[in-house]
Structure 1
Amino acid sequence: MISENQGKYLIGIARKSIIEYLEFRKITSIPPEVSEELLENLGVFVTLNKNNQLRGCIGYIEASNPLIELTIQSAIMAATNDSRFENVTIEELDEIDIEITILTRPKLIKVLESNEYLDKIKIGVDGLIVEKGFNKGVLLPQVPVENNWDVREFLEYTCLKAGLPTSAWLGLDTLIYSFQGQIIKE
């Protein structure tokens, strides 16, 4: 999706955005010299980890704005607006590692029977979106790898993330989408 150099640049912008927001409540501007590939409309999630523990993760599944703009917004929100955690402080920022996941467009996984999902979803490759009614849950491709889950567990935990019973994926009225991600780490 993007080059290694642009990935490093994006990580730098994410860190700069968090620092500027925490210190000055300023939202980082998009630099004028930014490359075309960072101006593409792509979904993105920014994950903050401290001592290999999740500290914040927020992003956009689908993009209506440029990747660099959504990265800036997601980085700030992961640091200050993830309701699962206290806000990140400027003092702890040196201990935080930033990970960016750039997403492909989600595709509906079409099945005739729910057990077909077990063959169609690839651990370490696919991220999942589970949607039923007004409920929606997203887990990134790296999550089942980090937790040593199989496909069934991945589906169950994505259902939980959506606020649904773990068995919701078995119902054909539940929509399941897959997407892939390019993971960029500091």
Structure 2
Amino acid sequence: MISERAGNYLLELAKEAIVYYLATGKKLEVPSDYPIELDEKLGVFVTLNENNMLRGCIGYAEPIEPAITATIEVALAAAFNDPRFNAVTEDEFENLDFEVTVLTKPEMIVVAHPDQYFDEIEIGVDGLIIQKGYSRGLLLPQVATENAFGIEEFLEHTCMKAGISADSWMDESCDVYKFQGQIFK
């Protein structure tokens, strides 16, 4: 994954990108002095919380952009384009807690029977992506621990996030992926 220094840099960059947008209405340019390891394409999520409640969370599950670029893009999306919330305002910015999660590449969990997922998923370590047809849901690793989910509940909630029935993870036409996340707060 990335160094602590690079992760903390991304955390500050996410804040700076939002402050800059609030002040100018423009996207922050990539700074010139960032840690070179952030040129690597990585999945990145930015989570905003206000008073311990989710205020926005958007990210890239797949490594499609360099981490430095992805962080700016998803920070702005979490603050201003998460369809579950109104756009962040200048007045509330100071009350936000920021979290940047850098993801490993998702890997499909191949099982002969759905019961085998219980041996393949580790709560607090693995995040999940569940895909069935065009429906896809993702929950970061910390969601399971923050909500005291067991593995079955984690699978069910990821299905619901995808907009499919909670027991879809048992259907062989449903693909389950796991990934790990490095969290910076």
Q: Does 1:34 align with 2:34?
A: yes
Distance 1:18 1:105 in 2: 26
TM-score by length of 2: 0.98
Where has structure 1 moved over 3 Å in runs of 4 or more?
A: none
Distance 1:85 1:14 in 2: 18
Quote how far apart the aligned CAs of 1:63 are: 2.1
Instruction: Pick which of 130-139 and 23-32 moved more.
Output: 23-32
Distance 1:116 1:34 in 2: 42
Quote how far apart the aligned CAs of 1:144 are: 0.6
2:184 alignment partner, SS class: strand
Q: Which residue of 2 aligns with 1:177?
A: 177
Quote how far apart the aligned CAs of 1:7 are: 1.5
Q: Which residue of 2 aligns with 1:14?
A: 14
Distance 1:125 1:14 in 2: 24
2:94 alignment partner, SS class: helix
Distance 1:175 1:164 in 2: 12
Q: Which residue of 1 aligns with 2:113?
A: 113
User: How many residues are aligned here?
Assistant: 185
Q: Does 1:142 align with 2:142?
A: yes
- 2:9–2:34 contact (8 Å) kept in structure 1: no
2:122 alignment partner, SS class: coil
Q: Which residue of 2 aligns with 1:130?
A: 130
- 2:59–2:74 contact (8 Å) kept in structure 1: yes
Q: Does 1:102 align with 2:102?
A: yes
Q: Which residue of 1 aligns with 2:56?
A: 56
Distance 1:6 1:62 in 2: 19
Distance 1:83 1:139 in 2: 17
1:2 alignment partner, SS class: coil
Q: 1:65-80 counterparts in 2 under 5 A?
A: 65-80=65-80
Distance 1:178 1:162 in 2: 15
2:74 alignment partner, SS class: helix
Distance 1:117 1:65 in 2: 30
Quote how far apart the aligned CAs of 1:9 are: 1.2
Q: Which residue of 2 aligns with 1:45?
A: 45
TM-score by length of 1: 0.98
Amino acid at match of 2:150: D
Amino acid at match of 2:22: L
1:110 alignment partner, SS class: coil
Distance 2:135 2:4 in 1: 35
Quote how far apart the aligned CAs of 1:34 are: 1.7
CA-atom RMSD in angstroms: 0.7
Q: Deviations over 1:4-56 (max 9, x none)?
A: 12222111111010011112111111111222211110000000001111000
User: Which 5+ residue runs of structure 2 have no aligned equivalent?
Assistant: none
- 2:99–2:183 contact (8 Å) kept in structure 1: yes
Q: Which residue of 1 aligns with 2:2?
A: 2
Instruction: Pick which of 174-183 and 23-32 moved more.
Output: 23-32
